[in-house]
Structure 1
Amino acid sequence: MLRVLSLAALGAGVLAARQRVLHWGATPEEVAAEYSGDALIPNPSGRSTMAVTLPAAPESVWPWLVQMGADRAGWYSWDRLDNGGRPSATEIVPKWQELREGDRLNATTDGRVYFVAAIVDPPSTLVLRSDVAMSSGQSFDPRGPLPKRFIEGVWGFHLTELPNQRTRLVVRTVGRNAPRPVMAVFDFLVGEPAHLIMQLRQFGNLRRRVRAEALPAPKTT
């Protein structure tokens, strides 16, 4: 009986930790909400909702998001891991402010993997979609037949205006992959913790960037 109780307690602890990983910073209402882009992935096998409050209005946060991409401003996360070691931009770059639905954003510096801008609705919603065949390690067109081994999902950024020139940024991911028995273990041990680490880094860097932009310029004498 003691062993059974210990295993039950361990299982409950693991489940609680996983929920914290998947829902970092989000309220129960944000976790339960449905967002634009959720339905783009049918029969999903996983979903996460993370959130942060940023010290700038959505109109000031949006330019940082819309210029993301390995071939653009980077991802504001751990650049050595997801941007080929190239530092992410620390300023808004006008030439990267134009983004239309259907445009590709390189996810890797070699362009083998890319996101497609699925929903672009400034300054409130940016949803990026990725479909990757695991056998080739390259993106594929989801309108064709699915590979036997694949990962596909959406990475959505949802901005809501708060009082006092602030933004509530909710990041929702929805995905599915195959083969499930193998990928379920990978998601739990690698994918979900890695997403948390990268997303929290991005949140912190976005906060620093929008705060620095909002500071008054130093006076010159």
Structure 2
Amino acid sequence: MNGHRPGSRRLLTRAVPAAAGAVYGAVVRPRLLTWGATPEEAARAYPGDDLVPGAHASSTMATTLPAPPAEVWPWLAQMGCNRGGWYSWDRLDNGGRPSAERIVPEWQHLEVGQRLDSVPSGHAWFTVAVLAPESTLVLRAQLELPSGRPFDTRYEPPPRAYVDAVWGFHLRPAPGDRTRVVVRTRGRGRPGALMRIMDVLYNEPAHLIMQTRQFRNLRDRVGGTL
């Protein structure tokens, strides 16, 4: 016999996951949600934040790219499936098509309200919500769940289950002719309790993986190391 009573084992079984969850919530998750960002960058407000009031999910990630904003912007302006791609894991978010490795003039035009396909089929998309060339690009996705059908709150009320999220890119000049890129996400949806669970278990880790990959690939492109 190992000397442990069944009650003690049950208590230990419950205590370990609870302790692990507490550590993740207090230490790991805040770092995951602010990867690369300074405390000041994470705390400040950005254009587009007001599009999702009462957001139950938010992240602020950042990196420094080796080129000025005027040279970074064209790569962001041509993002989208059936355009330049997303510069992340192409097999996951661009239908297996390689993202662009050069600036394509016909993909440089952007305007507020324009749709950028989020999937190669074109059945879902981001809408350009805020646009200030060489400074700010905020994309918004409003999707009914579980169908994934886009909707627009300007013309229809939110469905029974939905997600409403923004993905914002904010560029600032940095010393050495470089660019500080801060990426802010905010999201809300229904049912709220389920969305919060999905955020912690899936959406937040997935965003970290995809966003850091995009940072790396943008750095290679603007730095000319392809």
Give me the TM-score of the superposition, normalised by structure 1.
Answer: 0.92
1:7/1:85 CA distance change after superposition, 3 Å: closer
Say how many residue pairs are matched.
Answer: 214
Tell me which residue corresponds to 1:50: 61
Tell me which residue corresponds to 2:212: 200
CA displacement 1:32-88 (0-9 Å, x = unmatched): 000000001121111100000000000000000010000210000000000000000
Tell me which residue corresponds to 1:159: 171
Tell me which residue corresponds to 2:37: 26
Q: Matches of 2:88 and 2:58 in 1, distance apart?
A: 20
Residue from 140, 143, 148 that aligns with 2:151: 140
Q: Matches of 2:82 and 2:152 in 1, distance apart?
A: 20
CA displacement 1:165-212 (0-9 Å, x = unmatched): 100000000110111121111111111000000000000000000000
Q: Which runs of 5+ in 1 are unaligned?
A: 216-221
Structure 1 residue 13 corresponds to structure 2 residue 34: no
Q: How well do the aligned residues superpose, as a CA RMSD in angstroms?
A: 1.8
Shift of 1:9: 4.5
The 3-state SS of whatever aligns with 1:195 is helix
1:162/1:148 CA distance change after superposition, 3 Å: same
Shift of 1:11: 3.8
Q: Matches of 2:38 and 2:216 in 1, distance apart?
A: 18
Larger of the two Rg values belongs to structure: 2
- Give 1:130's aligned amino acid: A
8 Å Cα contact 2:57-2:196 kept in structure 1: no
Q: Matches of 2:46 and 2:66 in 1, distance apart?
A: 23
Q: Which runs of 5+ in 2 are unaligned?
A: 1-10
Tell me which residue corresponds to 1:92: 103
Structure 1 residue 80 corresponds to structure 2 residue 113: no
1:86/1:7 CA distance change after superposition, 3 Å: closer
Give me the TM-score of the superposition, normalised by structure 2.
Answer: 0.90
8 Å Cα contact 2:84-2:100 kept in structure 1: yes
